[in-house]
């Protein structure tokens, strides 16, 4: 799926913020319609996009542990509930995975839901997936073909090392990734030479392509603590300008 963009990164790197900025970018560049998928169990992408969640895919899957309504085919019921889980906005939609399932596995429900979601993706120009660090949700939903995998780190050597470990999960998870990127978020105005050298070293070792640095942003900080969406951040904001340059580079492939 060339137009599937998945984001991953350890907690605290601002990965979900970057996801919201990417949705904003795609909408404003006219690369619509966009489907945003919140696949992080600690789901809060909807808050940054200014949307309310009514039902999650995890809740639908749990419903399938019991029988579907009498006289209704299982596939029809799943498709109906999946459509109800789609949160619609201007030029983009959002679906939320929710908490992972409890003990045991209900493979039939998982298979039906994966197939329904795969069918849904075909209706969108771009799909943006905000992932947990381990990226297991990509495997659970059979999203094994990824156009761009964007690993987000904070501006520390430990964060960059963690990003490299996340990137190394691609092979054991049997993911097919066309482009693998590293983005360093919340960077200081003056990038330490030692950090920049380490970023280049890690990229050379892992096959990550360095996308760039995003600055620490007072604009984003104020909006997040006030629980305000990021979609109306002004285009002249430094973090918006820098992120758009990075996203332009990503969609060009380098």
What would the mean pLDDT of 148-164 be, rounded to a whole number? 95
pLDDT at 181: 98
CA distances from 239 to 12, 119, 243 (A): 17, 35, 6
CATH number, domain with residue 213: 3.40.50.300
- Token match 């839901």: residue? 113
Max distance between CA atoms of the chain, in angstroms, equals 66
* Res 163 pLDDT > 90: yes
Tokens of 212: 């760039």
The answer to whether the CB of 183 falls within 8 A of the CB of 212 is yes
Is the model's pLDDT at 136 over the cut of 60? yes
* Res 113: pLDDT: 62
Long-range contacts of 245-253 (CB under 8 A, 24+ apart): 245/212, 246/183, 246/211, 246/212, 246/214, 247/21, 247/22, 247/25, 247/26, 249/211, 249/212, 250/5, 250/148, 250/150, 250/179, 250/181, 250/211, 251/148, 253/179
Report the pLDDT value the prediction gives residue 15, as an integer from 0 to 100. Answer: 94
Tens digit of pLDDT for each residue in 196-240? Answer: 999 999 999 999 999 999 999 999 999 989 989 999 999 999 999
This prediction's pTM = 0.91
Supply the range of the domain harboring residue 177: 4-252
Name the residue with higher pLDDT: 189 or 62. Answer: 189
Domain total in the chain:
1
Q: What is the pLDDT of residue 8?
A: 92
Please name every residue paired with 39 in a beta bridge, in sequence order, or none if there are none.
Answer: 131
Q: Where are the alpha helices (H) located in 100-192, listed in sequence order?
A: 107-121, 136-140, 157-167
**So what's the pLDDT on residue 183?**
98
* pLDDT for position 158: 94
């Amino acid at each position: 799926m060339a137009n599937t963009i998945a984001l991953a990164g350890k907690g605290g790197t601002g990965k979900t913020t970057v996801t919201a900025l990417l949705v904003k970018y795609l909408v404003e560049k006219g690369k619509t319609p966009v489907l945003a998928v919140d696949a992080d169990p600690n789901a809060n992408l909807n808050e940054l996009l200014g949307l309310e969640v009514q039902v999650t895919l995890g809740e639908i899957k749990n419903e399938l542990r019991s029988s579907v309504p009498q006289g209704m085919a299982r596939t029809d019921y799943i498709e109906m509930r999946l459509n109800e889980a789609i949160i619609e906005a201007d030029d983009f939609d959002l679906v939320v995975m929710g908490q992972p399932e409890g003990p045991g596995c209900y493979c039939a429900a998982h298979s039906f839901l994966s197939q329904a979601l795969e069918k849904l993706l075909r209706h969108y120009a771009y799909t943006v997936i905000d992932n947990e660090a381990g990226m297991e949700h990509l495997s659970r939903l059979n999203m094994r073909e990824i156009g761009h995998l964007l690993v987000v780190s904070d501006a520390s050597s430990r964060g960059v090392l963690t990003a490299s470990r996340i990137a190394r999960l691609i092979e054991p998870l049997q993911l097919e990734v066309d482009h693998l990127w590293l983005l360093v978020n919340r960077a200081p105005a003056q990038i330490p030479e030692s950090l920049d050298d380490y970023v280049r070293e890690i990229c050379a070792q892992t096959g990550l392509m360095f996308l760039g640095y995003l600055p620490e942003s007072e604009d984003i900080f104020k909006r997040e603590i006030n629980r305000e969406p990021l979609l109306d951040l002004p285009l002249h904001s430094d973090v918006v300008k820098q992120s758009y340059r990075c996203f332009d580079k990503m969609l060009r492939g380098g």
